[in-house]
Chain A
Amino acid sequence: LAKTTQPISMDSYEGQEVNITCSHNNIATNDYITWYQQFPSQGPRFIIQGYKTKVTNEVASLFIPADRKSSTLSLPRVSLSDTAVYYCLVGPRNRDDKIIFGKGTRLHILP
């Protein structure tokens, strides 16, 4: 499984765009990049998944450069309710192994 590195914590303000970058230098050819969001005392929630270039859904965008050694989760115009822990995971879509969550990035949105 590819190892991922994310900032431990980030602060931002309401209305701002937040970008959280994840490094995954040893990503394999068949690996996908998946992001989860977790609110306190709740289970994580799948946000977005991508393989290359850009993926966008109603919640976020995921930017993946050509070398795929990093990825950036972009949250547009955040609100206080976006305060959560965000996890970056890397692995094959058709996985054979368990899913490992790292420490994630604790995002704190300020008023």
Chain B
Amino acid sequence: KAGVTQTPRYLIKTRGQQVTLSCSPISGHRSVSWYQQTPGQGLQFLFEYFSETQRNKGNFPGRFSGRQFSNSRSEMNVSTLELGDSALYLCASSSVGGRDYEQFFGPGTRLTVL
């Protein structure tokens, strides 16, 4: 069974631009969560989607948004990029029920904002 895939793997943007990251969960998984990881703040929860609905949300500004499609694939968007948005963005999927603590993470997208 294929794992969680994220595209692109690396991205370089400039301040003020916007970016869209994509995540394909493991087949059959309906829950997708997004995390931002930086050296200073560690792994921080952004939001979780389950069956196309946002189920939980972290403490990030409205510039960070996401969505989930009917095939459970998910995208996150960051508008008006700031230097501090440079980070590794990780996506994780959970089982069909989507409530397990066992999450399966993708390799991440490394975003650099110049």
> Which of the segments A19-27, A57-65, A73-81, A93-101 contacts the partner chain?
A93-101
Give the number of residues in A that approach B within 8 Å (Cβ atoms). 25
- B108–A43 CB distance below 8 A: yes
B33 touches which one: A46, A89, A98 (CB < 8 A)?
Answer: A98
A43 touches which one: B58, B90, B97, B99 (CB < 8 A)?
Answer: B90
Known: A41-B88, A97-B56, A99-B45. A46 touches B102 (CB 8 A): yes
Q: 1/0 per residue B91-103: CB within 8 Å of A?
A: 1100001011111
- A101–B105 CB distance below 8 A: no
Q: 1/0 per residue B71-107: CB within 8 Å of A?
A: 0000000000000000010111000010111111111
Known: A41-B110, A42-B107, A43-B92. A96 touches B99 (CB 8 A): yes
Residues of chain A contacted by B48 (CB below 8 angstroms)? 98
Residues of chain A contacted by B45 (CB below 8 angstroms)? 98-101
- A104–B42 CB distance below 8 A: yes
Please name the residue on chain A nearest to B101 by beta carbon.
A34
- Which residues of B come within 8 Å of A, CB atoms? 4, 33, 35, 42-43, 45, 48, 56-58, 88, 90-92, 97, 99-108, 110
Nearest first, the 9 A-B pairs at minimum CB distance are: A43-B105, A98-B56, A101-B43, A34-B101, A46-B102, A43-B90, A98-B45, A94-B99, A95-B99
